[in-house]
Amino acid sequence: MKHGHHVIHPAKEWQIRPEAKKVRDTPSLIVPMGPYAHNKLHRNCPPLPLLGYHALQTVVREFTPTRDTMETLDSLVYAIEQAARHPRAYQVERGVARLAIDALETQRPFLQEALQVDELALFPLTEIPGYGQVA
């Protein structure tokens, strides 16, 4: 059975503010993955720290999700970078942004693997060239 992994976690923190929940609930940032892969990701990847109010406002403005998970992840990283570069961002906000980007980048190989497995699952085994042929 597949679970929907929210790239932005933990839920309790990211559902507090409406703009944070909006970003968290982006469909392409909810990745189907089996329970083993999901647990492995959470064992190896830190949670995403909740950004401050002004940083979230910038992220909502700059974030451009697509239907592609990895493109959407890139857009989210870019939006967080833009928030950190804001001239009025405090040093602590820049630090939280770096931690958030690191947490997202740590997930990248796990997400790529899950998406690759999911693509393979779209094809019935009988349609895979060479399947069922005896050498």
Q: Is residue 129 in some structural domain?
A: no
Angle, helices 91-121 vs 69-85, to 10°: value is: 180
Domain coverage including residue 102: 3-120
Domains contained in the chain, number:
1
CA distances to 16, 19, 24, 51, 62 from 58, in Å? 17, 10, 15, 10, 6
pTM (predicted TM-score): 0.84
Residue 125 lies in a domain: no
Domain annotation covers residue 63:
yes
Rounded to a whole number of angstroms, the distance between the first and last alpha carbons of the chain is 33
CA dihedral 51, 25, 27, 3 (to 10 degrees): 100
For 21-68, how does the pLDDT look when each residue is reduced to its tens digit (9 = 90+)? 999 999 999 999 989 999 999 999 999 999 999 999 999 999 999 999
